[in-house]
């Protein structure tokens, strides 16, 4: 059995679940927001050790039967009945820690380890590891000091982009090019650290999906004047073969981050140099398969079913 932690509206889950069932695997959905409302869980240690997950009108899952856990979209639990703000915060943390402990205590294959995913999502950490494995990264500073930010912008002649440290869950905040008027907002920078990064001018961007030891790289042109090319999914995507040294460094990055899969954003300069931006442990990749025909769904399904063997 394959357990997937996500929501029933997650199209990636729906497509992969369909493929897994074609492969003869049972698939169960673990929907965290329903915890405390409908779902019931128990974990017994010592004599009669057992782990169960029960959602009335759906299924009772014997977690010892679970071969893999795809920790894809773990939205927080929603306590019911309504609680005070402090009690609700406590209940959400209790559910989060209980569920994490439940899955970490199983013998199931984790795609990927939830704690590793949380750490790898921190841009400061992943950039340092990327640099250590030999990937080229942009000149970057994270700061809430307005003077430091001004000096960085001046150093690069204003050819700088800025972005959030963490993207909000409920809305997408794009990377933005620095404009002179942005300097007027630096007085508020002390409220929250922000990333400032040299702007990398390149004709191509790459969306790279790593599944186990398999790498699916897609290249698409960067429209003139576009800072964050990801929303432009109407661009023509084509499969791209990475140089062996870049591919090996990306696999080294994933190993160091303890990630089994993830999506990586890079740019390829006119001189052929590859520049690393970030890795998302559970990024979107289904549109890449649709546009290129690369068999990513099959690779993810095989990873969950057999460990990618």
Ordered DSSP codes for 128-194 = HHHHHTT-B---EEEES-HHHHHHHHHHTTT-EEEEESS--SSS----EE--GGGGGGGGGGGGS-E
Residues 251 and 182 in one domain: no
Whether 127 is in a domain gets the answer: no
Which of 198, 217, 232 terminates a domain? The answer is: 198
Which of 65, 94, 111 terminates a domain? The answer is: 111
Which of 158, 183, 198 terminates a domain? The answer is: 198
CATH of residue 178's domain is: 3.30.1490.20
Average pLDDT, whole number, for the chain?
A: 85
Residues 150 and 251 in one domain: no
pLDDT at 93 (0 to 100): 83
Residues 159 and 207 in one domain: no
pLDDT one-digit tens code per residue, 33-65: 665 666 666 666 666 555 555 554 455 667 777
pTM of the model as a whole: 0.86
Six-digit token string for 211: 């599944």
pLDDT at 99 (0 to 100): 78
Q: Span 289-308, mean pLDDT?
A: 93
Whether 130 is in a domain gets the answer: no
Phi, then psi, of 285 in degrees rounded to 5: -140, -10
Six-digit token string for 171: 């809305």
pLDDT at 91 (0 to 100): 81
Number of structural domains found in the chain: 3
Whether 295 is in a domain gets the answer: yes
Whether 129 is in a domain gets the answer: no
Residues 159 and 181 in one domain: yes
Q: How confident is the model at residue 289 (pLDDT cuts 50, 70, 90)?
A: very high
Provide the 3-class DSSP secondary structure of residue 195. strand
pLDDT at 25 (0 to 100): 93
pLDDT one-digit tens code per residue, 232-263: 557 789 999 999 999 999 999 999 999 999 99
Least confident of 222-226, 231-235, 296-300: 231-235
Domain of 170, in residue numbers: 139-198
pLDDT one-digit tens code per residue, 148-185: 999 999 999 999 999 888 766 666 677 888 888 888 88
Whether 222 is in a domain gets the answer: yes
Residues 184 and 205 in one domain: no
Residues 14 and 81 in one domain: yes
pLDDT at 229 over 60: no
CATH of residue 257's domain is: 3.30.470.20
CATH of residue 89's domain is: 3.40.50
């Amino acid at each position: 059995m394959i357990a997937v932690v996500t929501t029933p509206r997650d199209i990636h889950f729906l497509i992969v679940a369909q493929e897994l069932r074609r492969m003869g695997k049972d698939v169960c959905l673990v929907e965290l927001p329903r915890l405390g409302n409908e779902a019931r869980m128990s974990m017994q240690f010592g004599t009669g050790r057992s782990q169960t997950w029960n959602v009335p009108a759906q299924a009772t899952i014997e977690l010892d039967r679970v071969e893999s856990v795809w920790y894809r979209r773990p939205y927080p639990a929603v306590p019911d009945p309504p609680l005070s703000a402090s009690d609700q915060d406590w209940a959400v943390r209790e559910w989060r820690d209980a569920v994490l402990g439940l899955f970490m205590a199983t013998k199931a294959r984790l795609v990927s380890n939830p704690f590793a995913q949380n750490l790898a999502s921190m841009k400061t950490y992943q950039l340092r590891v990327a640099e250590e494995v030999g990937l080229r990264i942009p000149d970057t500073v994270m700061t809430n000091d307005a003077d430091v930010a001004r000096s960085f912008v001046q150093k690069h002649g204003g050819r700088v982009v800025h972005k959030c440290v963490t993207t909000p869950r409920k809305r997408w905040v794009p990377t933005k090019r620095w404009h002179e008027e942005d300097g007027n907002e630096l007085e508020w920078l002390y409220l929250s650290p922000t990333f400032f990064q040299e702007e990398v001018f390149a004709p191509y961007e790459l969306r790279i999906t790593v599944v186990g030891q398999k790498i699916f790289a897609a290249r698409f042109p960067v429209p003139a004047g576009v800072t964050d090319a990801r929303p432009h999914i109407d661009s023509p995507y084509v499969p791209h073969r990475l140089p062996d040294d870049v591919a090996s460094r990306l696999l080294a990055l994933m190993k160091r981050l303890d990630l089994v899969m993830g999506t990586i954003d890079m740019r390829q300069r006119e001189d052929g140099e590859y520049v690393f931006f970030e890795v998302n442990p559970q990024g979107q990749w289904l549109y890449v398969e649709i546009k290129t025909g690369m068999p990513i769904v099959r690779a993810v399904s095989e990873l969950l079913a057999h460990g990618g063997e």
